[in-house]
Amino acid sequence: MSFLQDLSFFSMGMWSIGVGALGAAALALLLANTDVFLSKSQKATLEYLEDIDLKTLEKEPRTFKAKELWEKNGAVIMAVRRPGCFLCREEAADLSSLKPKLDELGVPLYAVVKEQIRTEVQDFQPYFKGEIFLDEKKKFYGPQRRKMMFMGFVRLGVWYNFFRARNGGFSGNLEGEGFILGGVFVVGSGKQGILLEHREKEFGDKVNPVSVLEAARKIQPQTLAAEAK
């Protein structure tokens, strides 16, 4: 009888442990799909962006201050998380679809990458219709640099983004650093300021193209801004 009781208690104990482990796993999954553990973004200031050093991707690169990108006509700028990422390529294609309308507004479209590995940037260019520059110090990914590590792979939103991009025909590779999150900026001309700042909160968290275009329409070319004064 004692043996049967011990066996019964053992079975109940194992069952309790199993239920507890299952409950802990469910709680962890639930928390991973909230914003509780996401890296908090810190908004950039115009002064911060202006002072960023960028490089051209030519054989003999030129280093210049980022403010050159938007000084006269403003700019739409994508900080690319990873050129080989199919989610980044999808967002690049979305932004590039706006280029005819941006051209009408006289607003250029640019991208910055944080590294240049083999042909990754070259392979990204069919998806992105603007000029691309190198941000070696990863300043466009700050002021507070944020990362999403492997938690991203248990977030339902990320899996939704994966399927959306795959269904859209996008593919990619695993080359390069892909944990530092990117974003999109719309910056006005001169000192007009940052008109839109979208910080990627998880892999594949795209900016809304409609919001980008609305912000771009608010840009005053430098000549008009001067006349307004």
Using a 10 angstrom Cβ sphere, with 0-12 exposed, 13-18 middle and 19 or more buried, the burial of residue 183 is buried
| pLDDT tens digit sequence for 173-203 | 999 999 999 999 999 999 999 999 999 999 9
Pairing mode, strands 63-65 and 75-79: unpaired
Give the residue extent of every domain in the chain: 1-33, 46-228
Q: Which residues pair with 131 in a beta bridge?
A: 110
pLDDT of residue 200: 94
| pLDDT tens digit sequence for 73-124 | 999 999 999 999 999 999 999 999 999 999 999 999 999 999 999 999 999 9
Choosing from 44, 69, 75, 88, which is the catalytic residue?
Answer: 88
> Is 88 one of the annotated active-site residues of the chain?
yes
From the list 173, 168, 77, 94, the residue with the least C-alpha distance to 131 is 77
Which percentage of the chain shows pLDDT scores above 90? 68
> Is 45 one of the annotated active-site residues of the chain?
no
Q: Is the pLDDT of residue 211 over 60?
A: yes
Q: Which CATH number fits domain 46-228: 1.10.10.10, 3.40.30.10, 3.40.50.720, 3.10.129.10?
A: 3.40.30.10
Instruction: State the pTM of this model.
Output: 0.82
Choosing from 54, 85, 113, 216, which is the catalytic residue?
Answer: 85
Q: What sign has the CA pseudo-torsion 125, 129, 130, 136?
A: negative
